[in-house]
Each structure stands twice: as C-alpha cells, then as structure tokens.
Amino acid sequence: MMNFLLNIVAIPVDDPIAFTFFTGYMAMLAASVFFFFERSSVSKKWKLSLLISGLITGIAAVHYYYMRDYYLATGQNPTALRYIDWTLTVPLMCVEFYLLTKAAGAKISLLWKLLAASVWMLVAGYIGEAFTDGSSSHSVIWGFLSTIGYVYILYTAWFGEVAQLAEKSGNETVVKGVRILAWFVLVGWAIYPIGYMCMPGGWLNTGLGWSSSNVDLFYNIADAINKIGFGLVVYSVAVANSND
C-alpha cells in the first residue's frame, strides 16, 4: 500500500495525461446518462441505436476510471485495459452502421463482416503494441495487418455496402448521418495510428523522437471525440426520424 501511495505522489498533480483520463471518464459517463435518458424521446425503432450509444460510452467510462487509477499508480500506459475497452466498444460502433442501414435492407452478414474487421484490427494492433520488442519491423508488420481491418471498415462506410444501403434508403437524414460517421472513421480513427507510432519502434518514435508518453494523450482525446461523437450523430438521426 505504501508503494502504491508513493507512486501516486510521484505523478505531478497537473499531469496532462491524468487530466485527460479523468476528463474522458466524466465526459463519457455524462454522455451515457444522456443517451439512456433520451431513449424515451425517440420512436421504438431507434431505441436500440441509442442503447448501443449509451453502452459504448458507459463501457468506456468504466475503463477510463480504472485506467486513470492504473496510470496514477504506475505511471505506465494501461495498454491491456485500453484494448479490452476497444474490443468491446469498437465493434459496437460498427453495429451502429448496421442499425442505421437495416431499414434499407442491410443483412446480418454485413454486421458480421464489420465485427470481424474490427476485431482483426484490434487484435493485430494489440500484438504490435503490447508485445513490442522495440524494433521497427515488429510494429510495422502488425500495424500493417491492423490497417487491413481499418481500411475495410473505411471503404465499407464511404463506398461499400454501408454507403450504398444509406443511399438506397432514400432517407436524407440517414445518408447524412452515415456520411458523418464515415468522416469519424476517416479523421477521428486516424488519431489512433499516431499514438501507435509513438511507441518504441514506431515510426514517430524512431523518426521524430516522440515518446510513448504521448500515446495516452492521443488515445484519450480520440476516444472522447469518437465515442461521444458517434453517439451524438446517431441521436440526431434518431430524433429527426422520430419526428417525421
């Protein structure tokens, strides 16, 4: 217990990483409360979408609570806890694409393909980050494999089945919502590779000298933007279509 307390004291009180962990926890907890309460304001067909949005931010809030404690106690990146969070929340974010296009004829096979791509992306990323030997070859190989899953989701959202089904729906709100979510995948999710490349052996680490201490800053900011943003887009679509 004494060592635990000493480790906490060793972390500066104004540490920006600890601050973003706590801010992320509070923001995503508040978002969950909002999404759960707002389920009563949308039509029945959109309640599941808002439930998923609340689960995404709720699961993340719980993990951020524990990740902050882990960081304060050790001063290290909570890699395992973070990937557990992502393994639960990223597939749920892909479920939102399926739910948005279900009315236009999306089949369950689309959902399984998106889930498989997201799990592939995360497992490869975890191997590349958690089992790094400090060499560029290890991080590059597993980073490349992880990118395959990311590119598939990106393509599906922008040009593939999800985009085509959104257009087929004839619902301008759904089309706009899917396009905004696709922008989140293109721009928002692109923050994660930046953090990945800051670890020992990563391109930004070896090329620009960026420390792995930057990883959590990138990841925390990206999580708050992407998870809450995803939910708010789905919420706006649900409200607009409930009022039709």
pLDDT of residue 13: 58
pLDDT of residue 208: 57
Q: Tokens 């905004």 belong to which residue?
A: 180
Separation CA 162–CA 148 (nearest Å): 18
pLDDT of residue 4: 43
| Structural domains in the chain plus CATH codes | 2-242 (1.20.1070.10)
Number of neighbours of residue 186 by Cβ within 10 angstroms? 13
pLDDT of residue 2: 41
The pLDDT tens digits for 144-196 are 999 999 999 999 999 999 999 999 999 999 999 999 999 999 998 988 877 77
- Which DSSP symbol is given to 199? S
Separation CA 149–CA 113 (nearest Å): 10
Q: Comparing C-alpha atoms, which of 178, 188, 31 is closest to residue 98?
A: 178
The low-confidence residues of the chain, meaning pLDDT below 50, are 1-9
- In whole angstroms, how large is the CA radius of gyration of the chain? 19
CA atoms in the 13 A half-sphere facing the CB of 64: 28
